[in-house]
Amino acid sequence: MTRYRPLSAVVLAAGEGTRMKSTRPKTLHVLCGRPMLLHVLDALAELPIDRAVVVVGHGAERVTKTLQEQGPADLAIDYVEQRAQLGTGDAASTALTAFPDDDEDGDIVVLPGDTPLLRPTTLAALVRHHRQTDAAASLLTARLPDPTGYGRVLRGKDDRVARIVEEVDASEEELALDEVCTSIYCFRRSLLAPALRRLSPENAQGEYYLTDVVGVLYDAGYNVTAVLADDPMETVGVNDRAQLAAAEDELRSRVNQRWLREGVTMIDPARIHVDVSVQLAPDVTLFPGTLLQGQTVVESGARLGPDTHLVDCLVGRDAIVEHTVGQDAEVGEGAIVGPYAWLAPGSHVPPGHRTGAFYAASSGSDE
C-alpha cells in the first residue's frame, strides 16, 4: 500500500512589478474579470493541496484582502510577508516559516503568482512525475524561440538538470540555450529548507535565487528532474502591460472555446469577451461586440449583441438584447431590448416586453 504524502504549495506574490507602471500590485491586475493571482490559486485548488502559503510584500494588505474575499473556497490559504525584496530564494525561505517544523514529510509546489495561464493538468503532471521519479526537485521547463529574460536550464552528462543560470549571469554559450526555467517547481519538502540555507547572493543582482537550489541539490547527489511543458504559453509570466494583453487574449480564447463546446453559438469569437465568472446556458447566441462581465447569467435561447455590454445582469430564456449597455439589471423571458438601450442598476424588463429604440430603463422600472 502506497503511503500518503501530503502536498503543499507556496505562491510567490511579493514583487512590486515596476514594469506594469501601476499603483496596483502586479498580481492583482485583471484577466477576464479575475486578478491573475486568483487564476493561479484556482489552478492549485484543483490539486489535492493540504495547505497553500502566499508570500506577500508590495501592497500586502490589498493582496491579502482580495484573496480572502475572492479566493477559492476549498483552498486553505495562509499569508507571510517578505518585508525586504531579497530575491525568490529569500521569499521561499520566508514561506517555510508558516509550516510546522516537526512536519517535513511530503512535497511542496512553488510557483510565481504572475503565471495566470497555467493549467491544473500541467501542475498535476509535474507532481506526478516528481513522485514517480522519486526526485528531490522537479521543475517545469519550456523551449522558447526567444528565451530572452528567462533563466537557462543546464544539464549534466547524464542529461539530469544540473543547474539554472539566470540570464544576467549567463555566458554567451549559455544564452544560446532555448530550454528555460519557468520558476514552477515541486520539491521534496524535507530537502528544500537545508538547500535554501546554502544560497548566496553573490550574483549580478545581489539576491538569493530560488533557481540556485537546483544546483545545490544536484551537487549533493540528489535527483533533479524536469518536465517540458507541452504548451509554452501556459508558463509565461506577466511583467508588463503588453504581456498582460497577450495573456488576456489567450485566456479569452480558452473561455470562448469552452463555451462553444458547451453549446453556445458565437458569431466571430475573436470579437466576443466573456469573463470567467459569467454563466451561459446551451443555445445562447452571442454576436460580435458582445462583452459580458461579472456575475452575468444568460439563460437558454437568448440572443445577445451585436455591440452589447452587460455587467452583473440576468437575461431570461429566449430574450433578445442588442446594442445595449446594462448593469445589475434583469431582462425577462422572451423580452426584446434595444437597439441602443441603457439598463440602469436595479432595472427590470418584464417577460415578453419589447422596448423601443434608445430605451433607458430606470431603477425598478417595468416599462
Least Cα distance to 278 among 311, 239, 321, 234 occurs for 311
- Distance between first and last Cα of the chain: 68
Quick one: cell of 141? 521547463
Measured CA distances, 311 to 296, 298, 346 (Å): 6, 11, 12
- 118 within domain boundaries: yes
Does 125 lie in the same domain as 63? yes
Q: Percent of the chain having pLDDT more than 70?
A: 97
Give tens-digit pLDDT for 117-141. 999 999 999 999 999 999 999 999 9
Which alpha helices (DSSP H) does 71-144 contain, by range?
88-96, 120-132
Does 221 lie in the same domain as 283? no
- 1 within domain boundaries: no
Domain range for 302: 262-361
CATH number of the CATH domain containing 12: 3.90.550.10
- 300 within domain boundaries: yes
Measured CA distances, 25 to 16, 114, 156, 247, 294 (Å): 6, 11, 39, 17, 21
The pLDDT score that the predictor gives to residue 103 is 64
Does 156 lie in the same domain as 302? no
The pLDDT score that the predictor gives to residue 352 is 96
pLDDT band (50, 70, 90) for residue 306 = very high
Does 52 lie in the same domain as 175? yes
- The set of residues, in sequence order, having a beta carbon less than 8 Å from that of 15 and lying 6+ positions away, is 26, 27, 57, 58, 85, 114
The Cα–Cα gap between 15 and 55 comes to 9
| Kind and range of the H or E run holding 191 | helix 189-196
Q: How many domains does the chain have?
A: 2
pLDDT of 364 strictly over 60: no
Does 181 lie in the same domain as 117? yes
Which residue in the list 5, 19, 241, 258 is annotated as catalytic? 19
The Cα–Cα gap between 273 and 51 comes to 34
pTM (two decimals): 0.92
| Higher pLDDT among residues 366 and 148, named by residue | 148
Q: How many CB atoms lie within 10 A of CB 50?
A: 12
CA atoms within 13 A on the CB side of 132: 8
Give tens-digit pLDDT for 192-227. 999 999 999 988 888 999 999 999 999 999 999 999
Q: Percent of the chain having pLDDT more than 90?
A: 85
Active site residue 155: no
pLDDT band (50, 70, 90) for residue 367 = very low
Does 187 lie in the same domain as 39? yes
Give tens-digit pLDDT for 2-51. 467 899 999 999 988 899 999 999 999 999 999 999 999 999 999 999 99
Measured CA distances, 24 to 60, 65, 320 (Å): 11, 13, 38
Does 267 lie in the same domain as 223? no
Q: What is the mean pLDDT of residues 293-310?
A: 98
Residue where one domain finishes, among candidates 186, 218, 235:
235
b/e code 288-320 from CB counts within 10 Å (16+ = b)? ebbbbbeebbbbebbbbbbbbbbbbbbbbbbbb
Does 209 lie in the same domain as 124? yes
Give tens-digit pLDDT for 222-280. 999 999 999 999 999 999 999 999 999 999 999 999 999 999 999 999 999 999 999 99
* Phi-psi map region of 358: left, alpha, beta (phi>0 left; psi -120 to 50 alpha): left
CA 67 and chain centroid, separation? 13
CATH number of the CATH domain containing 326: 2.160.10.10
Does 163 lie in the same domain as 304? no
Does 282 lie in the same domain as 223? no
Does 167 lie in the same domain as 279? no
Does 79 lie in the same domain as 223? yes
